[in-house]
């Protein structure tokens, strides 16, 4: 028989440790987020559908984005045990200068539409975290204002080549004069991808007020108050011009850009130059031979060519092709620190987060971006410890097994490229 007794107050006291309620609603909801997916859920509740879908969506059936995320889920880690992992180092040199984490903030367009603090929030957080911040040509904060927000940190500028080459290079010149240390040249946008969520939402800049958007805005008053009481949304690098998305894309993208144009851009940029949007072994090797400082394996977050190659799957092959000393970076599909650690183990020198950063921004402005970076940083450190490594240098391909889900019936034939 179980012997029972009346509990004593002294026995109950240690169990009655009630947490002081957090009265700050923003802090309370951000503290409840333990993953990037948690931040995404918060962001979806707080952001109008058109703005959220612009961030969350991809091209056509969104297969490329889904496959990229699935690729990270389809890995098996191979840990070592009985290692002293009481301290770990998550930083090293990237493009000739130190970073505190193996990830940085990717260039994103229309950023102040997601949340009014926009690029300034990202630049502030990057400065505190010791990671690079990348400003898009289609950003909504000027080159100079981002530099002022991150005066001592690393700022990178992402370039889309316009049909008007002089105006494009004027932006490059402004970035150089402002002290940006790296130019990211995006090469996977000869034309805009078919982003069907945006078409269905009637996406425009500035957002159009329709019956649908008004109804969708009713439970999200804070977003609209911020939008209507701050500086009108415009592209800061485009002389603060605004217009429809189609108009801006028609102006922005030049479908005639070639390797010769890239060499011309490289000759005019004084800092490091990295090419973003590489999706084949042949192009990776051509760019390495051309002398650019690094490449970013990326399918533009699945927002351009649907069914494009999965960057994480390409990574080991590209590293073997160009050599481990050449800097290969990676984006698309990253939603956790474990994704970042797996990328480094397979040869990536650096990774970029786009959606993960924007989910944090939409969830809580600068504090939300802080939370996103904190979540990823903690996951990177914990994953390294559980693998039995104390530095990024110790990560190696043997730590990761890529499990097969999509088998190839045929292999692509590499096309030769003459430069």
Tokens of 75: 């890995």
Tokens of 228: 């209507």
Q: Is 303 annotated as a binding residue?
A: yes
Residues 291 and 296: their CA atoms lie apart, in Å, by 14
Q: Is 186 annotated as a binding residue?
A: yes
Q: Chain-centre distance of CA 168, in angstroms?
A: 23
Q: Is 109 annotated as a binding residue?
A: yes
Q: Is 277 annotated as a binding residue?
A: no
Place of tokens 């984006």: 331
Tokens of 194: 């078919």
Cβ–Cβ under 8 Å, residues 142 and 111: no
Residues with Cβ < 8 Å from 255, sequence gap 6 or more? 190, 191
Cβ–Cβ under 8 Å, residues 34 and 279: no
Residues 310 and 314: their CA atoms lie apart, in Å, by 6
Q: Is 354 annotated as a binding residue?
A: yes
Please indicate whether residue 300 is annotated as part of the active site.
yes
Q: Is 317 annotated as a binding residue?
A: no
Q: Name the helix (H) or strand (E) containing 401.
A: strand 400-402
Q: Is 195 annotated as a binding residue?
A: yes
Q: Is 160 annotated as a binding residue?
A: yes
Query: Which residue in the list 34, 124, 300, 313 is annotated as catalytic?
Result: 300
CA distances from 220 to 23, 232, 274, 362 (A): 20, 19, 39, 12
Q: Is 107 annotated as a binding residue?
A: yes
Phi, psi of 78, deg, nearest 5: -120, 90
Q: Is 359 annotated as a binding residue?
A: no
Residue in 386, 355, 352, 329 with CA at minimum distance from that of residue 36:
355
Residues 389 and 85: their CA atoms lie apart, in Å, by 7
CA distances from 165 to 160, 265, 348, 387 (A): 10, 10, 32, 48
Q: Is 180 annotated as a binding residue?
A: no
Residues 127 and 378: their CA atoms lie apart, in Å, by 18
Residue in 365, 378, 379, 359 with CA at minimum distance from that of residue 38:
359
Q: Which residues are documented as binding site?
A: 54, 107-109, 136, 158, 160, 186, 195, 276, 298, 300, 303, 354-355
Q: Which residues are documented as binding site for glyoxylate?
A: 54, 160, 195, 300, 303
Q: Which residues are documented as binding site for FMN?
A: 107-109, 136, 158, 186, 276, 298, 354-355
Could you list the active site residues? 300
């Amino acid at each position: 028989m179980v012997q029972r007794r009346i509990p004593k107050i002294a026995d109950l006291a240690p169990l009655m440790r009630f947490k002081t309620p957090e009265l700050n609603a923003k802090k309370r909801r951000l503290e409840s987020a333990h993953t990037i997916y948690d931040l995404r859920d918060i962001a979806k509740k707080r952001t109008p559908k058109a703005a959220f879908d612009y961030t969350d969506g991809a091209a056509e059936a969104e297969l490329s984005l889904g496959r990229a995320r699935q690729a990270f889920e389809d890995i098996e880690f191979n840990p070592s045990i009985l290692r002293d992992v009481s301290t770990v180092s998550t930083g090293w040199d990237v493009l000739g200068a130190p970073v505190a984490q193996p990830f940085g903030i990717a260039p994103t367009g229309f950023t102040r539409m997601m949340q009014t603090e926009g690029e300034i929030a990202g630049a502030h957080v990057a400065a505190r975290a010791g990671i690079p911040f990348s400003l898009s040509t289609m950003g909504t904060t000027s080159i100079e204002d981002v530099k002022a927000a991150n005066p001592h940190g690393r700022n990178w500028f992402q370039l889309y080549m316009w049909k008007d080459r002089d105006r494009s290079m004027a932006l490059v010149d402004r970035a150089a004069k402002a002290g940006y240390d790296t130019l990211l040249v995006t090469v996977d946008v000869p034309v805009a991808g078919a982003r069907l969520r945006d078409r269905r939402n009637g996406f425009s800049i500035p957002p159009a007020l329709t019956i649908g958007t008004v109804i969708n805005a009713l439970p999200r008053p804070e977003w609209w108050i911020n939008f209507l009481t701050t500086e009108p949304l415009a592209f800061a690098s485009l002389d603060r011009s605004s217009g429809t998305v189609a108009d801006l894309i028609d102006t922005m993208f030049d479908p005639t850009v070639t390797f010769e144009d890239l060499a011309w851009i490289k000759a005019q940029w004084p800092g490091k130059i990295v090419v973003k949007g590489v999706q084949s072994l042949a192009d990776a090797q051509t760019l390495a031979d051309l002398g650019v400082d690094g490449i970013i394996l990326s399918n533009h977050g699945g927002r351009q060519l649907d069914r494009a190659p999965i960057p994480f799957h390409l990574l080991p092959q590209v590293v073997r092709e160009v050599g481990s000393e050449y800097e290969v970076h990676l984006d698309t599909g990253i939603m956790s620190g474990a994704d970042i650690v797996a990328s480094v183990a397979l040869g990536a020198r650096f990774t970029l987060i786009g959606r993960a950063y924007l989910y944090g921004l939409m969830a809580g402005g600068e504090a939300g971006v802080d939370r996103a970076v904190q979540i990823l940083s903690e996951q990177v450190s914990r994953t390294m410890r559980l693998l039995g490594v104390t530095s990024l240098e110790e990560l190696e391909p043997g730590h990761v097994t890529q499990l097969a889900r999509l088998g190839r019936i045929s292999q692509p034939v590499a096309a030769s490229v003459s430069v």
